[in-house]
Amino acid sequence: MTFSLQGQTVAVLGGSSGIGLAVARGALAAGASTWIAGRDPQRLAAAVAATPGLRSAALDIGDGPALAAFFERIGGLDHLVVTAGASIGAAPLGELDLAGAAREALDVKLLGSLRAAQQALPWLRPGGSIGFTSGMLARKPTPNALVKTVINAGLEAAVRQLARELAPRLRVYAVSPGPVDTPGWSFPDAASRAEKFRQLGAGLPLGYTATAEETAAAYLFAMGARGLTGAVLDLDSGATLG
Ligand SMILES: NC(=O)c1ccc[n+]([C@@H]2O[C@H](COP(=O)([O-])OP(=O)(O)OC[C@H]3O[C@@H](n4cnc5c(N)ncnc54)[C@H](OP(=O)(O)O)[C@@H]3O)[C@@H](O)[C@H]2O)c1
């Protein structure tokens, strides 16, 4: 059976880049009316130019009224995907900027995901889904990554909670990526990027880092899997296996 989202509407918050853009492209290819959102209008315009058919809106996931206006403009959707996340550097506990960078990262990714789900709720059609983005750090203790760990673990807990709370009307899941080569990682040049991902891959059980498209396939599967809810799909080359 060919996977189809024909007649359905998908919104990807964080869809102008990386994993989110790959999800949006996959949803569009499967026939969905597909919206992407992010803060930078130029980034959104570039994504739409590269993938005609995508529709876009500029917003900050920290802005509840902007989210409400976005979902009202769409006017009904089947699947919400959130991949937006603030980057936060590694720091040991003693040096964490809890009042600044840590608070901002929590607000964008953890509270932002919940805020997006809350604002989308009146517009999500029965049988639809909410997909969050966790990360391998949720369950793989890694020195100096406390804030990312707390954010991702919080989202995974929210998945089970909301899956129970919103059933049977909606399904809730998360995808937990391992390292993925996206614009979210910056490097001085292509050679150092390639070397970093070669090293990261070598440290994983599968010896390989999944691409954004391979990671996106997990969200697309979840959108179509009517029996799936409360699940975290690890697309991490075995990173959390130890
Ligand atoms: N790549 C990895 O190795 C990896 C591993 C584990 C987990 N993850 C998680 O996967 C998700 C996607 O990562 P990625 O690597 O694909 O990142 P990316 O390429 O940097 O894309 C991030 C997207 O989120 C948007 N965004 C960021 N802050 C936002 C905000 N405040 N409001 C609205 N949109 C916002 C960005 O657009 P603007 O900047 O224009 O707003 C962009 O569209 C993140 O949650 C990340 O933590 C990634």
Residue nearest to atom 11 of ligand 1 (CA): 83
Helical spans, DSSP H, in the chain:
18-29, 41-50, 64-74, 101-105, 112-120, 146-166, 190-202, 212-224
Q: In which residue are the tokens 């996206």 written?
A: 182
> If you average pLDDT over residues 195-221, what whole number do you get?
97
CA distance 147 to 155: 12
| CATH number reported for the structural domain that contains residue 116 in this entry | 3.40.50.720
pLDDT value at 89 more than 90: no
Q: Sign of torsion, CA 162 167 169 175?
A: positive
Please indicate whether residue 24, judged by its CB atom, sits closer than 6 Å to ligand 1: no
CA of 1 to the centre of ligand 1 (A): 32
CA distance 50 to 13: 18
The pick from 12, 13, 16, 19 for probing ligand 1's pocket by mutation, whose C-beta has the most ligand atoms within 8 angstroms, reads 19
**Cα 95 to chain center, whole Å?**
28
Q: How many independent structural domains does the chain possess?
A: 1
Asked if 233 and 136 count as a contact pair (C-beta separation under 8 A), the reply is no
Asked whether residue 3 is assigned to any structural domain, the reply reads no
Asked whether residue 95 is assigned to any structural domain, the reply reads yes
CA of 83 to the centre of ligand 1 (A): 5
Asked if 187 and 193 count as a contact pair (C-beta separation under 8 A), the reply is yes
Asked whether residue 217 is assigned to any structural domain, the reply reads yes
pLDDT value at 202 more than 80: yes
For residue 3, name the pLDDT band (cuts at 50, 70, 90).
confident
pLDDT value at 125 more than 70: yes
Mean pLDDT (the chain) is 96
Over the stretch 19-72, which tens digit does the pLDDT of each residue have?
999 999 999 999 999 999 999 999 999 999 999 999 999 999 999 999 999 999
pLDDT value at 213 more than 80: yes
Atom number of ligand 1 nearest to Cα 20: 16
| Residue type for position 213 | E
Asked if 229 and 163 count as a contact pair (C-beta separation under 8 A), the reply is yes
CA distance 126 to 229: 14
Q: Which bin fits 220, alpha (ψ -120 to 50), beta or left (φ > 0)?
A: alpha
pLDDT value at 100 more than 80: yes
Atom number of ligand 1 nearest to Cα 87: 47
Asked whether residue 4 is assigned to any structural domain, the reply reads no
Please indicate whether residue 182, judged by its CB atom, sits closer than 6 Å to ligand 1: yes
The pick from 12, 13, 16 for probing ligand 1's pocket by mutation, whose C-beta has the most ligand atoms within 8 angstroms, reads 16
Per-residue pLDDT, 177:
97
For residue 119, give its domain range: 9-241
> If you average pLDDT over residues 199-225, what whole number do you get?
97
CA distance 63 to 56: 16
pLDDT value at 1 more than 70: no
Atom number of ligand 1 nearest to Cα 39: 41
Asked whether residue 159 is assigned to any structural domain, the reply reads yes
Asked whether residue 1 is assigned to any structural domain, the reply reads no
Question: What is the end-to-end Cα distance of the chain in Å, rounded?
Answer: 36
CA of 59 to the centre of ligand 1 (A): 14
Asked whether residue 2 is assigned to any structural domain, the reply reads no
Percent of the chain surpassing pLDDT 70: 100
